[in-house]
Structure 1
Amino acid sequence: MFKRIASNTARTALTPVLAFTIFGLAACSSTPPTKDDTQARVDAAQATLANFRRDPDMTWFRDHVGSAKALLISPQIVQAGFIVGGSGGSAVVIARNRSGTGWNGPAFYRLAQGSIGLQAGAQASEMVALVMTDKALNSLLATTFKLGGDVSVAAGPVGAGTGAPVTADMIVYTRSKGLYGGVNVDGTVIDVDEGRNRAYYGQPATPVDILVTRSVSNPAGARLAQAASGAVASGR
């Protein structure tokens, strides 16, 4: 179970404000995304997926990735601050195609979370979330939603003795410096990154365009889809 840093009431009140701040600062301080920048993020997501796939403790992950309707992959979530802090990062999503034999995407998203607690220093984690239900997938196709609020989350089982059923809209694995559960994702706001989607596909593109109808495409995204197919094959 994810560690709760603040009460549900406090988190509910603060998360939208801090999430808006993180997104706003990122928009003001960064240069417009380029195709090379977005491809670098896709390549980093592919490396993260490979890390989880090869991990000997990720038996449950490998056994169930084939049942996922989509994968949300964040190569780096940065948690920083003191007394009042937050976490944020970027993520890409690939979703099962209609035939169920391959993957569409990637679509780009931003992650942000506000929290109260002593969080001296900074911590970076990587995350892979298995999107297990239509509810969670439909939330990704919308504009903004919150993990643990709009969509239920559970920590992915790690190591031996992981045969017990796990039921949630998303099964989330995080890791920091080789340790599991590196960041608390409960309360994380997930928001579509329209700028990076536009940069990667050369035109405005919604998650539905990318993940469902596939009315836009980028051949370079095929490598991540192939890595996901390899992860599924390794679990069979």
Structure 2
Amino acid sequence: MTDLSSFPITRRWPAAHPDRLQLYSLPTPNGVKASIMLEEIGLPYEVHLIDIGANETWTPEYLSLNPNGKIPAILDPDGPGGKPLALFESGAILLYLADKTGKFMPADVARRYETIQWVFFQMAAIGPMFGQVGFFHKFAGREYEDKRPLKRYVDEARRLLGVLETRLEGRDWIMGDDYTIADISMLGWVRNLIGFYDAGALVDYGSLRHVPAWLERGLARPAVQRGLTIPARG
């Protein structure tokens, strides 16, 4: 049996199945990237709920896996060369799982890098900007008297949706006919923006045609539906 005892995180979140990939996460827009991908590829894994509300990402055990204190993170007992691999950052996890399984990443080198650029677009723009909209519209920031920060992030979120709208014209998925990690990286964030953040009206989501159709296609996938609820909240 695989021995993961050298990884401090397993002391707080023991692995019942150490031969399986271990996922440490919560079903947030970033967290579900990993769970959706794992459900899509069908790789056996064990999930551990990390309660960010209880600051569990700042415990010594979790920080030993991700010093940045964010979810998701994974521990793959069968990493490169058959050795365990610990990995954090959702974009890096998507790339790793795509390379590990040969799924949801084009084999053609040029299309591979085109896919990666859209994952980076999500990481650098969609995630941070949509998250700021959520903070200033739904969470503590909504109490701020100065509404300029909210306007700034709403305007930028609207612009980014416009980029996606243009990209998706005439395409079912970000990369055309092929559903890839680029789509997986963005589905949860767009869903969250108009759902949990309730910011659809703010960003003129109703004026879009291609993005809503893309989101509907994505959310209809059984693996996406499962991944959006993993790990189950207590």
Q: TM-score range by the shorter chain?
A: under 0.3
More helix by share: 2
TM norm structure 1: 0.25
Query: Bigger radius of gyration, 1 or 2?
Result: 2
Instruction: Determine which structure has the larger strand proportion and give its number.
Output: 1
